[in-house]
Amino acid sequence: MSLIELKNIEKIYSGEEVETHVLRGITFNIEAGEFVAIMGPSGSGKSTLLHILGFLDRHTKGTYRFEGKTIDDYTDEELAHIRNKKMGFIFQSFNLLRRTTVLENVKLPLLYSDVRESQWSSMAKKAIEAVGLSHRLDHEPSQLSGGEQQRVAIARALVNNPEVIFADEPTGNLDSKSGKVVMEILQKLNEEHKHTVILITHETYTAQHANRIIRIHDGIVEHDDIVDHRRTADAEFIK
């Protein structure tokens, strides 16, 4: 049984007089522990696909199974619970709360979890340590570099120890050095901590840090290839 199974997934947005087909029959499986890059140009449907994979949106047609169970069998409330417990999200825009410390930002997913409040600080600190920012606990986002803000976002995605980490263009707003740091963290999370990582990107260089690249164009899978010579991020943490 694969962790994720997609079969003939379609996504159609209906307007008053027109239907827009964003995904046109996507089929693939992702195994637990894989690092997969979903790559395509703007408008190819990759972000829509991520939203469906991460239960942020529902597909129109086809079958999506997560851990062997069909997503259509869940209510929105049940999907939200699974999303909080088993999935972590990293976005290009960081999505951190201003005037809120690093520690409090990382705690946020725990507000909606079953974890006792007495454990929140220790869990958040562990996640922050994993991205090399223990010395920034009491800083606010405005006091951090872009690379540091993205690492806070990664820590927030990690705090519930999710099975799957979704990263949507995580290096898009970063300089090359900070981008290498982010990719190093994602590779370590995959290799050392066995998180499944699903990366959305339009950049070949970034995609090559994954073990497998799924290329989509105009809502269909064009190629699904194993990366023979994977790039290894060897950046040092930026202190």
Q: What is the pLDDT of residues 11-52, one digit of tens each?
A: 999 887 899 999 999 999 999 999 999 999 988 999 999 999
What is the DSSP annotation of 129-166?
Answer: HHTT-GGGTT--GGGS-HHHHHHHHHHHHHTT--SEEE
Q: What residue type is 91 in one-letter code? A: F
Give ∠ CA 12-18-22 in degrees, rounded to 5. 30
pLDDT band at 173 (very low <50, low <70, confident <90, very high): confident
Q: What does the alpha-carbon distance between residue 230 and residue 4 come to, in Å, rounded to a whole number?
A: 23
Cβ(106)–Cβ(140) below 8 Å = no
Distance CA 7, CA 5 (A): 7
pTM: 0.91
